[in-house]
Structure 1
Amino acid sequence: MEDKKIEIKQHYGLLTALSMIVGICVGSGIFFKSDDILAYTGGDVLLGVLVFCIGALCVIFGSITLTELASRTEKTGGVVGYFEEFISPAAASAFGWFQVWVYFPTITVVVAWVAGIYTTMLFNLPSTLETQVGIGLIYLTFLFGMNYISLKAGGRFQNLTTFIKLIPLIGIGLVGLFWSAPNPEIPNEVAVIGTSSVGLGWLAALAPMAFSFEGWVISTTITPEVKNAKRNMPIALTIGPLIVLVVYLAYFLGTVSIVGEEYILSTGDAAISQIGTAILGANGESIMLTFVLIAVLGVVNGLTLGYIRLPQALATKNMIPMSDSIKVMDAKRELSPASTIFAFVVSLVWMGLHYISQKTSLLSGGDISEIAIVFSYLAYAVLYLKVIQLKREGVIKNVFLGYVAPVLGTLGSLVILVGGIFSNPTFVPFFLIFSLLVCIAGFVYYQKKNQIAS
């Protein structure tokens, strides 16, 4: 039977593209990584601000650079399409394998697990790893199903959660500007951690910072479904990271103003509960945790929305096994059911691996998402260098867009690499090698498949 080609319709506008960038970046990371950033800087707030600014610049210059590629191709698959158009189909297959087998599923399951953590806190459930992972699996299953059954529901949920999550973040920042009450006392059962000098140790803060900003590039996966994409995607990729930076700095400085550095260093993620109580009274903790949970679920939704389309995009290019089955789309839903199932099953496998790594403390306090984030920035650097080449060939005329932005984006990728190694010198090199082997497998698969086809 001959497959019918289904024309991809433009469902999403600039608002959804922007809300994907802001909604995926702003969510889980800022709530449970900002205390890590402060810890790595020894409680130095100004150094923490510097770390956030470095992260924003890495993303801003990187996204501005990628807009030069986004506006010059109609290939599907987001960054995979950029590799296919501007590097080679084999390189696209290599990066596609990394994204479909490692990047998307590891980040998705970790954030779903975080949603489980906040759910146990909100409803006073047993805060065991099993409960957290079990709740995370329920969220994961629901959001995969919702995004497959209804394109509009997934987009609307993304827009809604993005606006809702901005309320506490911006609100805490504004309250912090006028806060004059004394810092709360640290609970007796909590060990007091004071500020300290960390020397070059602050570079380790670049790893949780990278997680906090991670996800902006996922919005490129819906490019074919964005109305007037050549205009709207560059706008979204430029404005989105700036919004994220403003929100992050407002929240970070607001939390320090309300509870103080030592309280955050000592209590970690639990500081958000105290902030809610301080601002809103007795029910403040529950209200704040509700906002946080919605924010994190918005991240899982955005990741899911992007991930279920990736196997489908790779299958249309014959870059993964079972491509003939995976690329068959449901005419009514305009998505491939096999692609959705593929993404869901891979996510389940990684959730199992995440459970094992957390149960055994295999990663020394880290998590499986660290496998993907540092490597992804190194992969983006390949595209940044391609933009420089296009400038030298005269395709790109603007000096800032052709030289300055990609050079600074590349430097940002190297900074994040250094930060990742500082944060976990034992496992990050292993993660990089693992991710590289996955890419090599994808490259070899495409080469062999192409040889057989020819």
Structure 2
Amino acid sequence: MKQKEYGLFTAITMIVGIVIGSGIFFKSDDILNYTGGSVSLGILVFAFAAISIVFGSLTIGELAARNSKSGGIITYAEEFSKPVACAIGWFQVFLYYPTITAVVAWVAGIYTCLLFGFNMTLMNQTVIGAIYIVFLFVINILSKKFGGYLQNGSTIIKLIPLIFFAICGLTMGDPGATLTSTNVKTVGTASVLAALAPIAFSFDGWIVTSAIGAEVKNSKRNLPIAFVVGPLIVLAVYIVYFVGISTLIGPQNVIALGDAHVDVAANSLMGPMGAKIVLIFVIISVVGTVNGLILGGIRLPQSLAARNMFPFANKIKIISEQYGVSIRSAIVFFVVVMFWLVIHFITQKFALLTSGDVSEISIALSYGLYIYLYIHVILLAKSGEIKSKIKGYVIPGLAIFGACIILSSVFSNSLFFVHFSICLTIILAAMLYYTEIAVHREGDQEKKVA
């Protein structure tokens, strides 16, 4: 039996550390674009998304507190349906983790170009992103400890530029005027809802903490608290940064500058040398996010293979004694990440997306899979296993509502139906694969009995 190693503080800081990453640096302009440059409307959408995530995390916390096994949401889904668990696993391996990894690595390339004065071409940004991916894959395969140290260090560093810009904007500018500015475009409900997609990207990662549920002390008490406090801390940091950066250079300038607004803000405050220091912090933060995704992603195929939920499971589940991870599992994930990096390059090169990127669709669709778990919490309450009506009905009901709102945010995405078709194909293929494996396994057992 695993020793309960983590206390409440660790659970909270894990959520904060995982969620606060690169998203807020390069999604602020997208959010303002959707809200017509209205900072106050952006704050409202931030708060709405955070509340949706709090209810979702509380609902998942019910499952985490009831299950002593490791593995996160795949394990929870496995309790209700192994084919569905297999589908969720394939979705994470082929869509969710790799699309986010590819996009964030590309963002690291953007800020690296800004730092060293390279030409800001999409090709340069993508090639540098690919170099980061290769380097971090090698690091995480050759040295688990070094990958862990990089992750811990980047968690602390990533807060520095956020707090710096927040303080400067709130103290040196006029945040009141920014919040009440009338220099905004009128936008419709659909545009405001679309702002939830980049915000969902910025908040993404909270679900990962459910994987340590079995190792949290007094998890029935501490996990729900962490799942509420953690997102609220992230919300506070994001809002003060969002207001601060908008106050410093103006909402319309943030929209016009796009991802370069961080560099411009830093230059205006500290000059060229100071801006480079800030960019170094931002790059470390972004690369730390890529590292965390790779650290977890290379283990996904081997985790599925250990459950016989992945092709060539007998080979992929073999963990190297020297490196402590399955090399084949890491290679599978690497190939998928590089594939999505190429797809991302194509969508950006030929302007196939009006705004945002392919990772936003994967993140939004993941909430559709979470709904499956939310419904099962309600079913547990209906069967009497969860006594509290608040925990069993009200909270998961609100979580479903919030998930539906986030899902609706990507319907206007020009590639939604293409991406959704890919997602549906992968999910159906996974369920059929596991069903066939189960049928063959039962047939083999019958032959042995005979």
| TM-score greater than 0.5 by the shorter chain | yes
Q: CA deviation at 1:372?
A: 0.9
Equivalent residues of 1:221, 1:310 under 8 A apart: no
Which residue pairs with 1:187 in the alignment? none
Which amino acid is the alignment partner of residue 429 of structure 1? F
Deviation at 1:218, TM superposition (A): 2.9
Residue among 150, 155, 159 paired with 1:157: 150
Name the amino acid aligned to 1:73.
Answer: N
- Between the aligned partners of 1:91 and 1:380, the Cα distance in structure 2 is 11
Residue 266 of structure 1 is matched in structure 2 by 256
2:42 aligned with 1:48? yes
Deviations 1:300-343 (A, max 9, x none): 11111211121111011100101111111223543222222221
Mean Cα displacement is larger for which, 410-419 or 146-155?
146-155
User: Partner of 2:158: helix, strand, or coil?
Assistant: helix
> What is the distance in 2 between the residues matched to 1:242 and 1:38?
21
Q: How far apart, CA to CA, are the structure 2 residues paired with 1:355 and 1:379?
A: 27
Matching of residue 130 in structure 1 with residue 123 in structure 2: yes
SS at match of 1:283: helix
CA distance in 1: counterparts of 2:173 and 2:43, whole angstroms:
21
1:117 paired residue number: 110
> What is the Cα deviation at residue 228 of structure 1?
4.8
> Which residue number in structure 2 is paired with residue 452 of structure 1?
440
Between the aligned partners of 1:12 and 1:125, the Cα distance in structure 2 is 44
In 2, the alpha carbon distance for the partners of 1:134 and 1:9 equals 43
Which residue in 2 is equivalent to 1:298? 288
What does the per-residue CA deviation read over 1:258-313, in whole Å, with 9 as the maximum and x for residues that have no partner? 22222223222222122212332342321221121111111111111211121111
Candidates 243, 263, 270, aligned match of 1:280: 270
Alpha carbons of structure 1 residues 367 and 199: separation in structure 2 relative to 1, 3 Å: closer
Aligned with 2:420 (options 428, 432, 452):
432
User: Among 298, 304, 319, which residue is 1:314 paired with?
Assistant: 304
Report if the CA contact (8 A) 1:218-1:306 is conserved: no
Q: Which residue of 1 aligns with 2:100?
A: 107
The letter for the 1-side match of 2:164 is G
Displacement of 1:99: 1.0
1:340 equivalenced with 2:330 (yes/no): yes
Q: Tell me if structure 1 keeps the 8 A contact 2:105–2:290.
A: yes
Is 39-48 or 367-376 further displaced after alignment?
367-376
Aligned positions, number: 434
**Residue-by-residue CA offset, 1:374-406 (whole Å, 9 max, x unaligned):** 110111011111111112222122333222221
Distance 1:76 1:327 in 2: 16
Identify unmatched segments of 5+ residues in structure 1. 1-6, 183-192
Paired with 2:332 and 2:133, the residues of 1 have a C-alpha distance of 14
Residue identity in the other structure for 2:72: G
C-alpha distance in 2, partners of 1:220/1:42?
36
Q: Matches of 1:172 and 1:316 in 2, distance apart?
A: 45
Describe the SS at the equivalent of 1:421. Answer: coil
The partner residue of 1:376 within 356, 360, 366 is: 366
TM-score (norm 2): 0.89
Spell out, residue by residue over 1:140-188, the C-alpha distance to the aligned partner (whole angstroms, 9 max, x if none).
1222222223333222222211111111112222222222489xxxxxx
Bigger mean CA offset, 256-265 vs 35-44: 256-265
Q: Is the 8 A contact 1:12 1:155 kept in 2?
A: no
Q: Percent identity?
A: 47
Q: Deviations over 1:14-44 (max 9, x none)?
A: 7775555333422221011111111111111
Q: CA deviation at 1:453?
A: 1.0
Mapped pair 1:217 → 2:211: no
| Larger CA deviation: 368-377 vs 42-51 | 368-377
2:83–2:434 CA contact under 8 A, matched in 1: yes
| Unaligned ranges ≥5, structure 2 | 176-181, 443-450
* Cα pair distance change 1:230/1:330, threshold 3 Å: farther
Q: 1:129 to 1:20 in 2, by over 3 A?
A: farther
CA gap of 1:300–1:23, structure 2 versus 1, over 3 A, is farther
